[in-house]
Amino acid sequence: MSLQDKIEKLGQLKTDLYKKDFLLTWEKSQEDLKGILEVAEILKEMRDNNISPRVFDSGLSISNFRDNSTRTRFSFASASNLLGCAVQDLDEQKSQIAHGETVRETANMISFLSDFIGIRDDMYLGEGNKYMREVGDALDEGFAKGVLPNRPGIVNLQCDMDHPTQSMADLMHLQQEFGSLENLKGKKIVMSWAYSPSYGKPLSVPQGIIGLMSRYGMNIELAYPEGYGLIPEIVDIAKNNAKQSGGTFNISHSMEDAIKDADIVYPKSWAPFHIMQERTELLKNADKEGLKALEQTCLANNAKFKDWEYNESKMKLTKSQDALYMHCLPADISGVSCKEGEVNADVFEKYRIRTYLEAGFKPYIIAAMMFTNKFQNPSEVLNNILKRDRKRVGF
C-alpha cells in the first residue's frame, strides 16, 4: 500500500483524539487506537523516505520526567523534533517548585508558547495519573481565562497506572511481527513477573500490556508468584476487554504453566501492589529508614522466586519452542547486567535486536499522539505534507 493509500485509509476513521490528552489506553476507542497506529506508520514511512513531516515552525514540547528514563525520554525528544518542536526539560530542582510553586501555577508558567507536555510520574501509587489530570485542569483554566494562547496537549510518558506509549509501541511491534491487528486474535501472550535483584519497579508496564492487548481478541495469561498482584481495578478492565473482544484472560502462579504454547512471552519484574502502596506512604513521609527496611524485606521475598527467569528450558515450552520475546528494556539479564535476573543471556541475545526494533516504534507512537491532538483532520494535513514533498536531508 502506498503512502497516499495509507493516508486515504486513515481519513476513513472516526477518531476523537483532537485536543484530547492521551493518558490511558482504556479511555480511548478502538478507532482512536487504530488512528494512532496508522499515523505512526505514515510518519515512520515518511521519515524512512526522507520526507520531512515538520508541521511546526516554532513551539516547545515540555519534557517533565519525575523519574529516570532513557528510551522514553529520547523518544519524546525525537518525536517533538520530528514534528518541528524544540524540547525543554522541566527540572523540578531548578524550578520554583522547590520553593512551593503550585502545580496550577507551574503548568501555566511553562505553557505560554508550548504545544505539548510529556509527563512521567510513576513513583507514587495513586498519584501519577492524578498529577497529570491536575496539570490538565490547570491548562484548561489558563486557556479559558486567556492566560494561554492555546492549550498544550498532555502525553502520558508513564504513570502509576499505565505506560501507553510503551504498550502502543509494543502493539505496533506485534502488528509488524504478525502482519495485522486482525492476526493477533487467538494469539496467546504471557505477561509474566520475572525475578529481579531490585525492588520497587512500577506496575504500569504489565498493567498497560494486559489493558491494551486484551482488546484485540488475544488470550492473555498473567503470571506472577502469590502476593505479586497488580491493581485490581485494572485487572478487571483487562478481563472485561478480553470478554468483549472474544479473547480470554487467565491468572497463573506458575511461570512454566503460563508459557505453555505461548505465541508471545513478556517476562518483566514489578513490585507487588500492596508493597507499592506502602512504599508510596513512606516516600510521602520522607521515611528513609522505613524505605530501607521495606527494600530489604522485598529483596528477601524476591529471592524466593529466582526460578522465575525466562530461559531456554522455558522457551521450549512455548508454541513451536520459539515464542516472540518482548521487553520494555532495560532487561535484567542474568550474567550480563546482574548475577541473576529476568532473562537468560542466551535467550535475550537471540531476541536483542528485535527488542531494539520494538523500542524503535516509540518515537513514532508519541509523534502520532501529538499529531492527532493538534490536528482535527490528520489525513488532510498528512496529504499536504506529502504534496509539499520537503526533503529532510538535502534539497
Using one digit for the tens of pLDDT, what is the confidence trace for 351-380? Answer: 999 999 999 999 999 999 999 999 999 999
Supply the mean pLDDT for the chain: 96
- pLDDT tens digits, 329-351: 999 999 999 999 999 999 999 99
- How far CA 265 is from CA of 131, 221, 268, in Å, comes to 32, 9, 10
Q: Measuring CA to CA, which residue among 216, 270, 222 is closest to residue 241? A: 216
- pLDDT tens digits, 200-252: 899 999 999 999 999 999 999 999 999 999 999 999 999 999 999 999 999 99
Q: Does domain 3-162+362-388 have CATH number 3.40.50.1370?
A: yes
Regarding pTM above 0.85, the answer is yes
**Residue 325 β-bridge partners:** 265
Q: How confident is the model at residue 24 (pLDDT cuts 50, 70, 90)?
A: very high
Reply yes or no on whether the pLDDT at 98 is more than 70: no
Residues 207-224 as b or e (16 or more Cβ within 10 Å = b): bbbbbbbbbbbbbbbbbb
Reply yes or no on whether the pLDDT at 110 is more than 90: yes
Q: How confident is the model at residue 91 (pLDDT cuts 50, 70, 90)?
A: confident
- Looking at domain 165-359, its CATH architecture is 3-Layer(aba) Sandwich (3.40)
Reply yes or no on whether the pLDDT at 150 is more than 90: yes
**Whole-number Å distance between alpha carbons of 377 and 148:** 23
- pLDDT tens digits, 161-212: 999 999 999 999 999 999 999 999 999 999 999 999 998 899 999 999 999 9
3-state secondary structure (DSSP) of residue 391: strand
Task: Delimit the CATH 3.40.50.1370 region(s) of the chain.
Answer: 3-162+362-388, 165-359
